[in-house]
Amino acid sequence: MPLYHTPAGPVETQEWGEGEDVWVLAHAAAAGPNTLSGLAKRLAAPGRRLVAVALNGYGGTALDVPGGPIAAHAAAVDAVLTALPARRRTLFGHSMGGLASLVRRTPVDRLVVFDPIVTAVLREDDPEDAAARAWDLSINDGFYAGMAAGDPERAIATFIEAWNEQRWTDIPASARARLTAAAPRLGADMRACSTHPAVPYLGAPEVVILQGARSPEVTHRMTARLAALLPGARRVVIEGGHMAPIFAADAVAGAVTAV
């Protein structure tokens, strides 16, 4: 897997194709660049280079930057965007990777985010926003309770069943073991997303916000609020749940290339 060396540390990637039409893909929490390989292969085209970046703490990416986990994830995205010669840059971010994509510093020509976790856009004085946020916090509380009890498997199962549309017991044992081992890192990422402050999000000349039709209601509230904040943004609801970039890659690729 290619490594990009920066003054802050290495950034690991997975890559497909060659060309100056560069697409950088940022994965969700508890995932990794390999989880976007199916989407990348469906987005492949002549003259296009697709690069899935491992966010900080995932794979071989290990950055020492100030500002907390989200800043470090965004720094990984920036490192890849600035390293690659490009005629046109498209950035795709999923879930936590969507938040990192929105707070990165490097300009891009096109920004596409799928169910980005931007809880700071929710309004406390809106009952629907508040109810959706309460559900999100209840899932977080269940995760933290499992960790506090010394049961990381219970913690991660709570998160997966809420967000991934999968029964924990239906996941292969090897994947369950990997996810359980990653529970402490996931906890840090969850806390960082939940507490990330409201900031001016960085858009692009073209911004597309994709929303999974079956995703948790909190994501519907967040993407609707975000679309109102980013000038010219288009919000598109597609079939699938929150993990559609992994489990419904055809639908996501079709939406990305159609808008």
Q: What is the pLDDT of residue 153?
A: 95
Give the domain CATH number at 14: 3.40.50.1820
pLDDT in tens, 56-92: 999 999 999 999 999 999 999 999 999 999 999 999 9
For helices 152-163 and 173-181, give the axis angle rounded to 10 degrees.
Answer: 110
Q: How many Cα atoms within 13 Å fall on the side-chain side of residue 50?
A: 21
Residues 61 and 93 in one domain: yes
Do 157 and 202 share a domain, yes or no? no
Contacts (Cβ under 8 Å, ≥6 apart) of 93: 25, 26, 77, 99, 100, 101, 102, 111, 112, 113, 114, 116
Residues 104 and 187 reside in one and the same domain: no
Quote the domain boundaries for residue 151: 127-193
pTM as predicted: 0.95
CB atoms within 10 A of CB 57: 16
Cα–Cα distance measured from residue 160 to residue 152, given in angstroms and rounded to the nearest whole number: 12
Q: What is the pLDDT of residue 259?
A: 63
Distances (CA, A) of 75 to 20, 38, 149: 21, 24, 33
Asked whether residue 41 falls in the same domain as residue 95, the answer is: yes
Tens of pLDDT, residue by residue over 168-208, are 999 999 999 999 999 998 999 999 998 899 889 999 999 99
**Total domain count, the chain:** 2
Task: Identify whether residues 82 and 117 lie together within a single domain.
Answer: yes
> Which helix (H) or strand (E) segment is 10 a member of?
strand 9-16
pLDDT digits (tens, 9 = 90+) for 208-226: 999 999 999 999 999 999 9
